[in-house]
Amino acid sequence: MILNRLGASDLKVSEICLGTMTFGEQNSEGEAFVQLDAAVAAGVNFIDTAELYAVPPRAETQGATETIIGRWLKARGGRDRLVLATKVAGPAEWARHIRSGPRLNAAHIRQAVEGSLRRLQTDYIDLYQVHWPERDTNFFGRLGYPPRPAQQRVEAPVPIEETLAALDQLVSEGKIRYIGVSNETAWGVHAYLQLAQAKGYRRIVSIQNPYSLLNRSFEVGLAEMAICEQVPLLAYSPLAFGVLTGKYLQGNRPEGARLTLFPHYARYSTPQAQAATECYVQLARQAGISPAQMALAFVRQQPFVASTIIGATTMAQLTENLSSVQVTLDEELLDAIELIHRHYPYPAP
């Protein structure tokens, strides 16, 4: 497992990161412990979570994922050998069970950090990320701009400067080491970087956004930002909710699978996405590799990616995903992928 430096930080993160949002919902605590043990044994040193998790978000399971990870850390030790990342929730109607409506102001961020530290049973968080922007913009599959008219908003958004200042203070206190953003736009990344330069705040060191064969929108604008500003991508949903494995083709809904249990997560289930997936699955099988491993290897090989976040509900899935680091796509296969992409450009948001 290769370790990559995370931007301009001194963190070195494994090229595969273990995503954990199924812990406490689709995966029990015992299953989560087995996954964490297996990932670490395979060379993974990077674990990503959020105060929002488990997913789908609901009051009964909010914080459950961090709690499970905290118990595992206490049982296994070795905190200093791991890079632990979590996130603070922003405003959303479906997240109102968090602090009666989470905001990205100084008071809410402090409450969120202290809650995460307590659940994770640790004194510090290596990478603390803004889960999604406070302002009304493009994320979670939303296409089209401008945002809603100001009169439709209940409250004005918290300025990015207040958010960054609060995070900077927490770095000074030693509660977090580095700052990252998630589900952010090129304008938002620029704003964080510009404020850091102008006001002397710590710079963000990473961007956690969706990126996969079905959603390559990061390449437009953000990829240049990631490389030129040393703020690399932590790619989430590299298998597009598992769609790129091919298991949902022809209307299949395997028992216990995410889209079987939660069909409203339809972001990667459009007709265009299904057609593109069929092509990618066929190409992988012709090349003699699994569709999942081809999809993960494609993401891992991008020059703007520091780590690819994988998630699994079974050990078989986790083993296959971890072994994708042994797969390198040659130029011929990459060219074939590009041909499919040209035929089905951005089939899912």
| Residue type present at position 6 | L
Omega before residue 56 within 30° of 0, cis:
yes
| Cα–Cα nearest to 191, from 216, 157, 217 | 157
CB atoms within 10 A of CB 72: 21
Alpha carbon distance 62, 51 (integer Å): 7
Look up residue 340 and give its DSSP letter.
H
Alpha carbon distance 247, 254 (integer Å): 7
| Cα–Cα nearest to 109, from 185, 168, 190 | 168
Catalytic sites, residue numbers? 53
Q: Which helix (H) or strand (E) holds 126?
A: strand 125-130
Q: Which helix (H) or strand (E) holds 177?
A: strand 176-182
Q: Are 93 and 57 in contact (CB under 8 A)?
A: no
- Beta-carbon contacts of 75 under 8 Å, excluding residues fewer than 6 positions away, are 33
Half-sphere exposure of 68 (CA within 13 A, CB side): 28
| Residue type present at position 176 | I
Q: Which long-range contacts (CB under 8 A, 24 or more apart) does 217-223 make?
A: 217/346, 217/349, 218/304, 221/185, 221/186, 222/185, 222/186, 222/189, 222/304, 223/302, 223/304
- Beta-carbon contacts of 292 under 8 Å, excluding residues fewer than 6 positions away, are 239, 244, 245, 317, 320, 321, 324
- The alpha carbon of 224 is separated from its chain's Cα centroid by a whole number of angstroms, namely 19
Assigned token pair, 234: 């932590």
